[in-house]
Amino acid sequence: MHPKAEKEDEAERASDDAPCTVQVAVHTPAHSAIGELLSYRSATLLAPGTLVRVPLGQREVLGVVWDRADDTAAQAPVQLRAVAGVLGGVAPLGADWRALVAFAARYYQRSLGEIALAALPAQLRTLGPEQMARRLRRPATQAEQANAIELIALSAEQESARAQISSKIGPFLMFGSTGSGKTEVYLRCVQELLQADPAAQALVMVPEINLTPQLEERFVSRFGAAQVVSLHSGMTNPQRLKSWLAAHSGQARIVLGTRMAVFASMPGLALIVVDEEHDASYKQQEGARYSARDLAIWRGHACGAKVVLGSATPSLESWHASRPPSPQDPEGGRYLRLAMPSRIGAAALPRVRRVDMGQQPHRTVFSAPLLAAITERVQRGEQCMVLLNRRGYAPVLTCSDCDWKSDCPHCSAHQVFHKIDRSLRCHHCGFAQRVPRACPACGNPDIVPIGRGTEQLEEQLAALLAGVQRADGSPVRIARIDADSTRAAGALQSQLAQVHAGEVDVLVGTQMIAKGHDFRRVSLVAAVQPDGALFSSDFRAPERLFALLMQAAGRAGRDAAWMAERGAPCEMWVQTYHPTHPVYEALRRHDYPAFAAQQLTERQQASMPPFAFQALVRADARTQPVAQGFLTAAAEAARAAALPGLEHVSLYPPVPLVVQRVAGVERAQMLIESSSRPALQHFLAAWQGVLRSTRADPVHKGLVRWLVDVDPLAI
Distances (CA, A) of 210 to 46, 257, 261, 664, 700: 41, 11, 15, 32, 43
Q: Which segments are annotated as binding site?
A: 399, 402, 408, 411, 426, 429, 439, 442
Position 15 confidence tier, pLDDT thresholds 50, 70, 90: very low
Lowest mean pLDDT among 75-84, 344-353, 495-504: 75-84
Position 152 confidence tier, pLDDT thresholds 50, 70, 90: confident
Q: Which segments are annotated as binding site for Zn(2+)?
A: 399, 402, 408, 411, 426, 429, 439, 442
CA dihedral 152→156→158→160, nearest 10 degrees, is: 130
Kindly tell me if the per-residue pLDDT of 13 is higher than 50. no
Reported residue count of the chain is 715
Position 34 confidence tier, pLDDT thresholds 50, 70, 90: low
For 493-546, what is each residue's pLDDT tens digit?
889 889 988 899 999 999 888 887 888 889 999 999 899 888 888 899 999 999
Position 14 confidence tier, pLDDT thresholds 50, 70, 90: very low
Nearest to 527 by CA among 462, 581, 584: 584
Tally the C-alpha atoms within 13 A of residue 682's C-alpha that lie toward its C-beta: 14
Position 683 confidence tier, pLDDT thresholds 50, 70, 90: very high
Q: Do the Cβ atoms of 683 and 646 come closer than 8 Å?
A: yes
For 358-407, what is each residue's pLDDT tens digit?
999 988 999 999 999 999 999 999 999 999 988 888 888 999 889 899 99
Q: Do the Cβ atoms of 265 and 101 come closer than 8 Å?
A: no
The domains found in the chain, sorted by start residue, are 3-137 (3.40.1440.60), 156-340 (3.40.50.300), 347-391+453-605 (3.40.50.300), 396-450 (no CATH), 613-710 (3.30.70.520)
Region 277-282: mean pLDDT is 94
The Cα 281–Cα 278 span in angstroms is 9
pLDDT attached to residue 668? 96
Nearest to 698 by CA among 651, 629, 608, 652: 629
Position 149 confidence tier, pLDDT thresholds 50, 70, 90: low
The Cα 30–Cα 113 span in angstroms is 9
Residue 313's SS3 state is coil
State the pTM of this model. 0.90
Kindly tell me if the per-residue pLDDT of 6 is higher than 60. no
